[in-house]
């Protein structure tokens, strides 16, 4: 970054901005020869990056199983895997933000089978590509999604059947919101094809690839 500072000290602000952008392209694996790519070119570059870098098959060690309601076993991936794939694909140029406030649903439709209810979080996943042609300096692709998590509560009674003082109360609402936020991030990432074989089905993804490739 010493070269950038020297340019700015010499009043070469436009050159410094272009140098930063070319460095960002280099880190993203986008070759820049001559003029900076235009927005249309970048859009195709973005598509190419996604297709190339997002695993079409989620490695076995990252596929987890849990018991869903009704006793059914379902597969999932942890949010850490999602974040790592995003970072490997887009570098630092992605972010996830909440949209609005968390919503707590504790009515009879959601507080069933001993549950207190669920917390719902809406989020927006945005990937960014730096570009000289955009007024904002980036082109962005955003996907909004909704995540939910069950409100965890303390057990009603101990192992001997004796009522507990905090029985039935919420354990930690903050943790419940974070779980819902993670769920929203995973759903948003699935719109970019991340862990599609887990949430859609490995056989379905294979059939799609065979049909279109």
Calpha distance 94→107 (Å, rounded) = 36
In this structure, the answer to whether residues 22 and 117 fall within a common structural domain is: no
- Of 22-31, 77-86, 160-169, the one with minimum mean pLDDT is 22-31
Q: Binning pLDDT at 50, 70 and 90, where does residue 153 land?
A: confident
Answer yes or no: do 30 and 114 share one domain.
no
Task: Examine the domain organization and report whether 16 and 117 are in the same domain.
Answer: no
Predicted local distance difference test score (pLDDT) of residue 9: 73
Q: What integer is the mean pLDDT of 114-121?
A: 83
The reply to whether 22 and 65 lie within a common domain is no
Are residues 85 and 175 both part of a single domain?
yes
Are residues 9 and 42 both part of a single domain? no
Yes or no: say if 156 and 164 are a contact pair by the CB < 8 Å rule: yes
Q: Which CATH number belongs to the domain containing residue 205 in this structure?
A: 3.30.390.80
Domain match, 21 and 69 both: no
Read off the pLDDT band of 52 (50, 70, 90).
low
State the average pLDDT over residues 84-98: 88
Overall domain count for the chain: 2
12-21: long-range contacts, CB 8 A cutoff, minimum separation 24:
17/132, 18/132, 20/130, 21/130, 21/131, 21/132, 21/137
> Does the structure show a pLDDT above 60 at 40?
no
21: confidence class by pLDDT, cuts 50, 70, 90? low
- What's the pLDDT score for residue 14? 73
Q: In this predicted structure, which of 15-19, 93-97, 181-185 has the lowest mean pLDDT?
A: 15-19
For the chain, the first-to-last Cα distance in angstroms comes to 42
* Residues 30 and 44 placed together within one structural domain of the fold: no
Residue 114 shares a structural domain with residue 13 = no
Rounded distance, CA 10 to CA 57, Å? 50
Q: Quote the CA–CA distance of 168 and 154 in Å, as a whole number.
A: 5
Q: Is the pLDDT of residue 135 over 60?
A: no
Same domain? 180 vs 87: yes
Bridge partners of 74, per DSSP, are 66
On whether the pTM is more than 0.75, the answer is no
The answer to whether residues 171 and 153 touch, using CB atoms and an 8 Å cutoff, is yes
Q: Are residues 27 and 46 in the same domain?
A: no
202 Cα distance to chain centroid:
20
Would the pLDDT of 73 be above 60?
yes
Q: Are 121 and 148 a contacting pair, CB within 8 Å?
A: yes
Over residues 53-62, the mean pLDDT reads 82
Rounded distance between C-alpha atoms, residue 83 and residue 192, angstroms:
13
- Separate counts of helices (H) and strands (E) for the chain: 7, 6
Q: Do the strands 64-67 and 73-76 form a parallel or antiparallel pair, or are they unpaired?
A: antiparallel
Alpha helix segments (H runs only) across the chain: 2-9, 13-28, 39-53, 79-90, 173-190, 196-199, 202-212
List the domain range (segments joined by +) for residue 31. Answer: 1-36
Task: Specify the pLDDT at position 127.
Answer: 86
pLDDT, mean of residues 152-161: 72
Give CA–CA dist 151/169, Å, rounded.
10
140 and 75 fall within a common domain: yes
pLDDT of the residue at 82? 93
**Residue 163 in tokens:** 């009522």
């Amino acid at each position: 970054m010493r070269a950038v500072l020297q340019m700015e000290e010499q009043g070469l602000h436009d050159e410094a901005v272009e140098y930063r952008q070319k460095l960002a392209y280099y880190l993203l694996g986008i070759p820049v020869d001559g003029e900076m790519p235009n927005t249309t070119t970048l859009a195709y570059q973005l598509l190419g990056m996604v297709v190339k870098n997002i695993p079409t098959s989620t490695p076995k060690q990252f596929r987890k199983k849990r018991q869903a309601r009704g006793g059914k076993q379902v597969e999932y991936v942890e949010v850490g895997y999602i974040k790592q794939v995003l970072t490997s694909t887009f570098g630092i140029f992605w972010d996830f933000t909440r949209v609005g406030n968390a919503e707590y649903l504790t009515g009879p439709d959601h507080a069933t089978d001993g549950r207190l209810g669920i917390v719902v979080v809406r989020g927006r996943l945005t990937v960014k590509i730096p570009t000289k042609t955009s007024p904002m300096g980036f082109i962005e692709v955003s996907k909004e999604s909704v995540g939910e998590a069950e409100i965890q509560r303390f057990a009603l009674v101990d192992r001997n059947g004796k009522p507990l003082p905090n029985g039935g109360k919420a354990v930690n609402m903050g943790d419940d919101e974070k779980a819902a936020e993670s769920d929203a991030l995973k759903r948003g990432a699935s719109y970019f094809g991340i862990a599609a074989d887990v949430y859609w089905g490995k056989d379905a993804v294979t059939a799609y690839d065979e049909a279109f490739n």
